[in-house]
Amino acid sequence: MSTSHPGGDAAVAPRSTPTSPRDLRRVVLGSVVGTALEWYDFFIYGTASALVFAPLFFPDSEPAIGAILAFATFGVGFVFRPLGGILFGHIGDRLGRRATLVLTTIVMGVSTGLIGLLPTFESVGLLAPLLLVLLRVLQGLGAGAEFGGASTLLAEHAPQHRRGFYTSFAQTGVQIGLLLGTVVFLFVGMMPDDVLLSWGWRIPFLVSFLMIGVALYVRLRVEESPIFLEMRKAQKMVKLPVFDAVRRYPKNMLIGIGAHIADTALVYLCATFVVNYVTGTLGLPRSTALTGVIIFSVVVIALQPVYGALSDRIGRKPLNLFSVIFTAAFAFPFWLLIDTGEPVLIWIALVLATALGLAPMIAVQPAFYAELFGARVRYSGFATSREIGAALAGFTPLVAAGLQAQLGGQPWLIAALFVVLSLVSFVAFAAAKEGKDIDIEDLGPGDPQSR
C-alpha cells in the first residue's frame, strides 16, 4: 500500500504510465550529462576565483583583499540561485520539466562561455568586474533551476523501490562537473603564470560553448515526466506553484532550506577555499590542491549510486544524520591534517571529509527533496527551498577567508563555523519525516483524487 505524502493525504493508486527501462536509461543519461556540463560551468568559476580572478579583476588590492573580493563575486551566484529556482521552478511546474532543463542549459552555457571573452581590469577598468558579476548572476539563475529540475525528472521516472538509486545519478553528474572543471584547470594551471593570466584562464570558460550542443542533444531525447503529463492532462497544475508550496508545505520548505546548508558549505570549502589556502597560505603548488580535488571527486562519484541504493534499504534519514554528525566531528581534525602541508595528508583529509561527510548527504539529496513536496509544486518547492539554503551557505569561502584573517592565517574559526553549520542541517534532517516509501505521484493536499 502506498504511503501518504508528507503534508498531504494518502494517494490513490498510481495514475501514470511506468517508464520503460529504455526510456529510464535515457533519463539517467540526460541527467548525468546535463548536470555534469552545467555544474562544470558553475564550478570552474569557483576554481578561477581561487587561482586567477584576484589579479585579473582586482589587481589594485592587497592579495588577501583581492582573494576576498574574488570570493565575493563567486558568492553572488548563490544570491541569485533562489530566484532561478522560483523562476524556472514555476516554468517547470507549469510547462514541463524537460523544456525547462533545455532552457537552463542555454542560460548556463552562454553565460559561462561569455566569461571567457571578458576584458580584464587592465583593459577596461571597473567595467571588467561589473561584467563578471553580471555573468555570474546569470550563472546563478541557471544553477538555481538545474539540479531541482534534473532530480525531479529522475524521481518522477524512477520506480519507487529504487528511487534513491536512480536519483543519485543527478549528483553523480554534479560531481563529474566538478571533476571536469578541476582537471581542465589542472592542465591550464601548468602554464607559466604570464601565459595563464594573459589567455590560458579563458580556455575552461570557452569550452562551455562546445558543451551546450552536447547537453542539448542529450536532453532533447529525454521523455517528459509521466507524472507531469498525467497532471497536465487532468489540468491539475496550479497558477503560482512557489506560493502554493510555501502555503501547503511551510515546514518542509524550512527543512529544505536547512538541509542544504552543511553540504553546500563543505563542498565549496573543499573545492574552492582549500585550493586558495593550500596555494596561498601554505605555499604549495597549484597541482597539489587541484590533485586533491580530483581524488575526492572520483571517490564521491563512485559512492553516489552506492549511497543512493543504501538509502532505498535503510532510508534517507539515517544517512543524512550520519553525514552531518561526521562533518561536525571531523571539522578540527580536517584542518590539523591540512596544516601539516604534506600532500598525502591533505588528500586524505579531503577524501575523508567528502567520502563520509559530503557523499551520503548529496547522494540522498535528490530523492529527499523530491519526497518533500507533492507533484503539482515539486519543482518549485524543491528548487526554491534548496537554493535558499545554497544562498545562505554559498558565501562560505568568503566567510572562511575573513575568519582566517582574524586569526592571522590560522583556520580554527573555520572549523568552528563548520560545527555550527552541521548543527543547522542536523536539526533539519531530524525534523524531516522518512520519505522513501511515499507515493511520488501524490499531488499533495487539496487534490480531490487524494484520500
Average pLDDT for the chain = 88
Residue 2, pLDDT score: 44
Over the stretch 393-426, which tens digit does the pLDDT of each residue have? Answer: 888 888 888 888 888 888 999 999 999 999 999 9
CA distances from 68 to 75, 76, 410 (A): 10, 12, 16
Residue 254 covered by a domain: yes
Residue 327 covered by a domain: yes
Residue 12, pLDDT score: 37
Residue with cell 541557471: 142
Residue 225 covered by a domain: yes
* CA gap 377, 359 in Å, rounded: 27
Residue 180 covered by a domain: yes
Domain ranges, residue 173: 21-431
The mean pLDDT of 175-184, rounded to a whole number, is: 88
Residue 387 covered by a domain: yes
Residue 237 φ/ψ region, left for φ over 0, alpha for ψ in the -120 to 50 degree band, beta for the rest: beta
The pLDDT-based confidence of 189 (bands split at 50, 70, 90) is confident
CB within 8 Å of 213: residues ≥ 6 apart: none
Find, among 421, 366, 434, 355, the residue nearest to 389 by Cα: 421
Residue 54 covered by a domain: yes
Q: CA torsion angle for 45, 292, 414, 258 (degrees, to 10)?
A: 70
User: Which amino acid would we find at residue 269?
Assistant: L
Residue 135 covered by a domain: yes
Total residue count of the chain as it appears in this document: 451
Over the stretch 102-139, which tens digit does the pLDDT of each residue have? Answer: 998 999 889 999 999 999 988 998 899 899 989 989 98
Ranking 46-50, 206-210, 297-301 by mean pLDDT, the lowest is 46-50
Q: Is 153 exposed, middle or buried (0-12, 13-18, 19+ CB in 10 A)?
A: buried
Residue 440 covered by a domain: no
Over the stretch 146-157, which tens digit does the pLDDT of each residue have? Answer: 889 999 999 999
What's the CATH number where 406 sits? 1.20.1250.20
Over the stretch 9-31, which tens digit does the pLDDT of each residue have? Answer: 334 344 556 788 888 999 999 88
Residue 445, pLDDT score: 64
Structural domain count, the chain: 1
pLDDT at residue 277 above 60? yes
The pTM for the full model equals 0.86
